Structure 1
Amino acid sequence: MKLSKTLIALALAGAAFSAQAHKPWLLPSSSLVDSKDAWVTVDAAISEGLFDIDHMPLKLDGITITGPDGAKVDMQNATTGRLRSTFDVKMAKPGTYKIALVSQSVMASWKANGEVKRWRGTEAEMAANVPAHAEELNVSRTFGRLETFVSANKTDEAVFKPTGVGLELVPVTHPNDMRAGEEAKWKFLLDGKPAAEQAFSLIPGGVRYRGTLGEIRLSTDAKGEVTFKIPQAGMYLVSSSWPAPPAAQAGQQAGPRPMPPRRVTYAATVEVLPQ
């Protein structure tokens, strides 16, 4: 279980850095349900192809579901298979629900007797595994947030109240009210403050059938806000990270780049409906 949690944390950390890396995702059967008995089924996996079931399941023990009244909601019929996990959410109250996985991890490297040592794990495990005064000690902490949003019979904003930790989406246009070709406006926060000039991307599902990634790259303004249009309907993965990875310099040798002391990532699945 410890190994699985570490792999999940690393996947969350890498989700925003490489379009070809294995990416974790939460994929609801629908983002907006109009029914007296409202349910959604959610697939949860880590895959190479976006929303393809091709690698490994996402463990469900760290996932939380928050209802429109702020109360925690239990997942129903949860199961984990060889390539994906699935669970149902009964939306007993009207409004918007947030399904989220928040991950924190630590990566460290140091030298011992001339040999480079590396370790990955949780903050609680670090003291027992990493010498506090090791030679050339380099420690990087990662905070990752993976989300999706579903609404029953109406949308509301309660679940978007920011926590003030990491990258967060505070939408002006509700993610469950987005339609192809129509203008949408979002705001990103970094530790509770506007995330100015924050780059992010939206990648549509169905890459294996298009043959091209179809990534849309955008950036917020000085207020952390961005106005944009999505040309086509479908499920999209929103992906962002801070700080931005440094650009490769001319003549720079290939190889691992230095780890920043702190790294923050955000990813979410949103559905864009037809007009």
Structure 2
Amino acid sequence: MEFRELECFVVLSEELHFARTAERLYLSPGRVSQLVHSLEVRLGGRLFHRTSRRVRLTSLGERFLADLRPSYDGIANAVGRAKAAAREVTGVIRLGFLATPTDVVTGSVRAFEDRYPGCETELVEIPLSDPFGKLRAGQVDITFTLLPVDEPDLATGEGLNRVSYQLGVSSRHPLATRTSIDVEELAGVSLIGLDGPAPRTWRERVAPPATPSGRPIPLAGTVSTSQEGLTQVALNRGGMLFCTPTAAHHRRPDVSFVPVMGLPPSILGLAWVKAAETAATRAFTEAAAGHALGTAALKDCRDGPSSPS
């Protein structure tokens, strides 16, 4: 016996009106009639007298309602409590981040904790070479990642920032003193890429195989983490692309960071396993999006109105 049939019977016994019952249950009147008929077939007798003007319980319906009501109310209350608990944002949410806890990461965490002080946040570093492994293994609930993500089992939120790229090179590299380079000049630089199980699209974002015009970009080897890459860069074994906030975080005397003109922006967002979505992951994406929106509005206020062209 289906709970939906019992629910429909109880509500119709209260309303004694098919349209109002349908409205309460977000069903069509026809569907209400189907559910009641199905229950009557299971029980072997009529539960309601129905005419064009009136609906009332039969004697069987009255006895069945009296016997059912205590158990039904207990089940309905249990379901209601479970739904309420599922909507609560409490406990612990584990957040993955890539190498550097930038302002987007820390600001999102602060915004979330301000909204939901009853939920504790734990930060877990995610290796560049395996951006989704810990997510799929259940070691983190949601992770900061580069967008877009083309993984069927994962859901993503909106972009939280859009920033430019910089090329990290040894301070001894010929490009180290440049104020910027064009993306086509990457054809003359061996880039350090990623090893491990990173998806192809992810690896190509970190180390694109060709410039926009199609000129091949040499690969200087692969690493698993940003720190491994920076060490290779400092030893002048190749260059490595970093988003501007990460480059600013990793300033050091033996590495120079040169802005790259012409690359698509680096977009940071959030990803989570679709089947494991919770109230906490939804709440965190909303808090992060709100923080990003507030940050963008504050930047606009500081920059002032744009000059007319």
Q: TM-score range by the shorter chain?
A: under 0.3
TM-score after normalising by structure 1: 0.25
Higher helix share: 2
Higher strand share: 1
TM-score after normalising by structure 2: 0.23
